[in-house]
Structure 1
């Protein structure tokens, strides 16, 4: 700074007779203190990754061409989009962006999470469908008129259909984009699941021939596939646009690190991905804490597969889930006991994959990332 001030003083006095070597030395020093064009600048203040990523967030990572296909599909009359991925992979964040795009096109939009329903709602189909209709009506700011359309002479599914057809859809002038989140909650109740999902399929089929149902656009979000008996002609899970969210690529992790203001090269990206793969939540959690200087990458990698590390809560949740199902715990133990792929029973492999713990290569399962391999080898007492 003294040198800069000296130059300014020389400018005022007209005394610019510096020796050539002095000029070059000063230029070199100024170059060192000037910000490098390659130095990453954070796009925004780091966000702690929890829940869905807001539509306005600078840290949402697009997984092209998934978003553009969904935005195009939601504009089709009677469309159905099915988003499937393990927990914390970005399903709800994608749903929010699809609904936002629909809203930009002038549609009515309703996001509905089944986690909002009380446990007793799932005990009976009639009670569940009443809750479903009333919840959507409330979000559309329409008065509750269930008693006018619910007639015990007809079945619950017919009453629900009439409520949508003659009241909810009839009283809006634009299409309705309905996002159904945490559909897994329904899977846990087979006594209502088959009827409810059969109803969604029937509405989707009606949209091919009836204008009133063309107004309904569905986005269904779930972590697991339907493992309940459903007729192929009654399931909504074999029609519409299927979306399976992939992990982040190395380039996406690199770009995300730069947007956090981290001057990372491909070496650091490879080191992090060697531990957690491209799991969106695990990657973002690491970048957040490294950017906040809570931890350095080397320390994170050393403690990651332990309960004292950054991912302790995440790992304990998975362990607790396995302990509730001894057959899955035994299957996971078998997977981490081998260095290569393991052939499991179909249902066990499917459930571990749906939990996000393993990846499928043909008919064989292997740990999804080194984090799970190391942690579960220790906690399940392998070897």
Structure 2
């Protein structure tokens, strides 16, 4: 009987391919337009249509864990599609067939990528927090640590709950926009309006008699938040760019903080502002010498998520996803040399999985000009020289020490924000062996 039951169980081991994910998204959107008043399906609605649990649907969409093929068939059938072999990727050990790009991951990890690793419990906390009225989530970490990748998943989770979303990448703001606060806020309102697929009515609500912050707040209060019934998740990406313009940053952050406070007044207007959920993304290094008053900014309120580096278990899982054997043996070496730094781990595994080089070769050439890390290391050193020269003597102390040392807490905080060191109780050491080797060499002449 036990054998019969075992053989009849569905074998788990597939995830959606990029093609499959695009097909099902498009079909789901068309189905919602026809059968749900053009409103995106909620997880509960999809569960009813597919016969799958909300948790299983979430698992299919995130593509982090494998499901069985029949699950995908149910999902596809519910939105009028027939599942084909091109729609999924096998992750079973015996039939692993994850397609690999010829270039390593750069920037945001796509929603449909099998190489995204969740860092729990922080991510689940963020998914739950964005559902709270008036939520404000701050995501910080050194550059290339996965902040924007997490942001896109928070937005996807919110979208699954029927919420609307607007993403403002401050990287798209022209320099002329960033030098004039009034022009910046008009640009900001226009971008949010466009993201929400609403008509641009900035001119109608802008009155030069009032200040720019008031006009922007009024535009949200009288138009955007009243025009849309569902909660709106507003994500501000690349917040570091604002900090290069201290006066603008100070005024803008004070306004964002005021919005969050409006949601807690307990009056009629509070209910309206509770519909707005804010997600602010910025590099941890932007906290080095903040150009604005912390008490007037959103940086000491809301939920703060500081993304950590990968741990050994997460590195092992990523090694498996790249189809590399002996993951239990390789993972400790990767952790020891690269410290779990996400970008460096992904870069290394990409080159190993494409059979370009072995890990032992990578370590031997780690700080040479031909190293796979050479561009990253040069950029890091250039940033240190140009933006944080005051940290160079401190970093010298750390990399030249034979064991973890004690630094002034503020100095340690600044070095850690840039991603160069890690703390061990009250002591600090280089973030990884790679950084120790490289900076101990290049800083000799200083």
TM-score (norm: length of structure 2): 0.74
SS of equivalent residue, structure 1 residue 100: helix
CA distance in 1, matches of 2:95, 2:361: 24
**Equivalent residue for 2:396, pick from 333, 342, 352:** 333
Q: How does 1:46-85 map to 2 (within 5 A)?
A: 46-47=100-101, 48-85=104-141
Q: How does 1:87-98 map to 2 (within 5 A)?
A: 87-98=143-154
Q: Deviations over 1:53-104 (max 9, x none)?
A: 1111111111111221111111111101111110111110000000001111
What is the root-mean-square deviation in Å for CA atoms of aligned residues? 2.0
**Equivalent residue for 1:212, pick from 272, 289, 292:** 272
**Equivalent residue for 2:211, pick from 155, 158, 164:** 155
Q: Deviations over 1:237-290 (max 9, x none)?
A: 111111111111111111111111111242221112211011111111111111
Q: Given that residues 52 and 92 in structure 1 are in contact (C-alpha distance below 8 angstroms), is that contact kept between their aligned partners in structure 2?
A: yes
Q: Is 1:266 paired with 2:328?
A: yes
Q: Which moved more, 1:353-362 or 1:61-70?
A: 353-362
User: Residue 82 and residue 345 in structure 1: after superposition, are their counterparts in 2 closer, same or farther (change >3 A)?
Assistant: same
Q: Deviations over 1:170-211 (max 9, x none)?
A: 211211111111111111211111111111111111112311
SS of equivalent residue, structure 1 residue 70: helix
2:366 maps to: 304
Structure 1: give runs of 5+ residues left out of the alignment.
1-36
CA distance in 1, matches of 2:305, 2:278: 13
Q: Is 1:221 paired with 2:263?
A: no
**Equivalent residue for 2:249, pick from 188, 193, 197:** 193
Q: Given that residues 254 and 264 in structure 1 are in contact (C-alpha distance below 8 angstroms), is that contact kept between their aligned partners in structure 2?
A: no
SS of equivalent residue, structure 1 residue 122: coil
Q: Is 1:126 paired with 2:182?
A: yes
Deviation (angstroms), 1:347: 4.8
**Equivalent residue for 1:146, pick from 185, 202, 206:** 202
2:298 maps to: 236
Q: Deviations over 1:112-132 (max 9, x none)?
A: 211111112221221211111
Q: Given that residues 121 and 127 in structure 1 are in contact (C-alpha distance below 8 angstroms), is that contact kept between their aligned partners in structure 2?
A: yes
2:315 maps to: 253
Q: Given that residues 226 and 272 in structure 2 are in contact (C-alpha distance below 8 angstroms), is that contact kept between their aligned partners in structure 1?
A: yes
CA distance in 2, matches of 1:193, 1:345: 28
CA distance in 2, matches of 1:358, 1:239: 26
Deviation (angstroms), 1:335: 2.0
CA distance in 2, matches of 1:107, 1:38: 35
Structure 2: give runs of 5+ residues left out of the alignment.
1-90
Q: Given that residues 178 and 242 in structure 2 are in contact (C-alpha distance below 8 angstroms), is that contact kept between their aligned partners in structure 1?
A: yes
Q: Given that residues 239 and 282 in structure 2 are in contact (C-alpha distance below 8 angstroms), is that contact kept between their aligned partners in structure 1?
A: yes
CA distance in 2, matches of 1:354, 1:50: 21
CA distance in 1, matches of 2:206, 2:427: 50
> Radius of gyration: which is bigger?
1
CA distance in 2, matches of 1:352, 1:89: 16
Q: Which moved more, 1:330-339 or 1:131-140?
A: 330-339
SS of equivalent residue, structure 2 residue 226: coil
CA distance in 2, matches of 1:178, 1:49: 26
CA distance in 2, matches of 1:88, 1:103: 25
2:237 maps to: 181
Deviation (angstroms), 1:346: 5.0
1:23 maps to: none
